[in-house]
Homo-oligomer: A and B are copies of this chain.
C-alpha cells in the first residue's frame, strides 16, 4: 500500500530530479526518471548548478566518470540543495577501484550533507573502512557483515546507507530494510546501479523517510526487473522491456510482488 502511495505522489507531483552524473549512463538515468513519472534535468556547469538545484526536488550525484571539475560542481549543487532542504543522493560508483574515487567520495561526504549514500558491497565497504576490493565498477569482495556495515556507516555519517546486490540492504542506523526483489538479467547490461540511484532520488523527493523511500524505490526497480524477464531473449530486449515495466508499474503488481523485510 505504502509503496504505491509514493508512486502515486510521484505521478501527481512530477518532482524535478537534478542529476550530476556520469557520461556512460546519463541517458538511462534521465529516462528511468521520466518513465516512473518524474522530470529529470542534467546540468553540471558551475555557473548554473546552484540555481538548478534550487528549483529541484532532489539532487542525484554519481561519480561514474568523475573529474575534479565535476566534483566541484557536485559540491556547489549540494550546498544549494542542503540550503533548500531537498535530499541529496550520492552513488559512489567505483569507490575503492582508484584512490581518486575513494578520496573524492570522502571529500563530498565531509563537505556537504548527503541524505543517501549508495553503492555496491565493496564500494560501501571501502568507504566504511573495511577490507574490500572493487574491480572497475564491480564488487569483488568485502570483509564483514553487510548489514552491520550499512548500519554502522549510517550511524557514523548520520545518513541512509544503501548497499545494492542480490539482496539490497538499506539502513538509517535505526531501521534496516532488506529488499529481495530483482532478477539475474539486471546484471547483464550496463547502468542498473546508476538507474536505481536515480529512482532513489525520485522516491526521496516525495517521501521524507529516506530509508523507506530508498527501499520503496529498490522494490519497484526489482519488481519491474522481474516482470521484464517474461519475454526477453537477452539483455537487449530485457532492458527495453524493463523501461516498459517501470512505466507501467501499478499498485496491484507492487502489492503482489514486493519482498521487503524490515529488521529491527
Residues in A lying within 8 Å of B, measured CB to CB: 16, 18, 22-28, 30-31, 34-35, 39-45, 47-48, 51-52, 55-56, 64-68, 94, 97-101, 135-138, 188-191, 233-237, 239-248
Per assembly, the copies of the chain total 3
Give every chain B residue within 8 A of A23 (Cβ-Cβ). 23, 26, 42
Given A52-B97, A100-B51, A34–B188 Cβ distance below 8 Å?
yes
The answer to whether A135 touches B55 (Cβ under 8 A) is yes
Cβ-neighbour of A138 out of B28, B39, B100 (below 8 A): B39
A73 to B66, CA, bound (A): 13
Cβ-neighbour of A245 out of B16, B28, B234 (below 8 A): B234
What are some 20 contacts across the A-B interface (CB < 8 A)? A16-B136, A23-B42, A27-B28, A27-B191, A31-B189, A31-B190, A47-B100, A55-B97, A55-B135, A233-B241, A233-B244, A234-B243, A234-B248, A235-B243, A235-B247, A236-B239, A236-B242, A236-B247, A237-B241, A239-B240
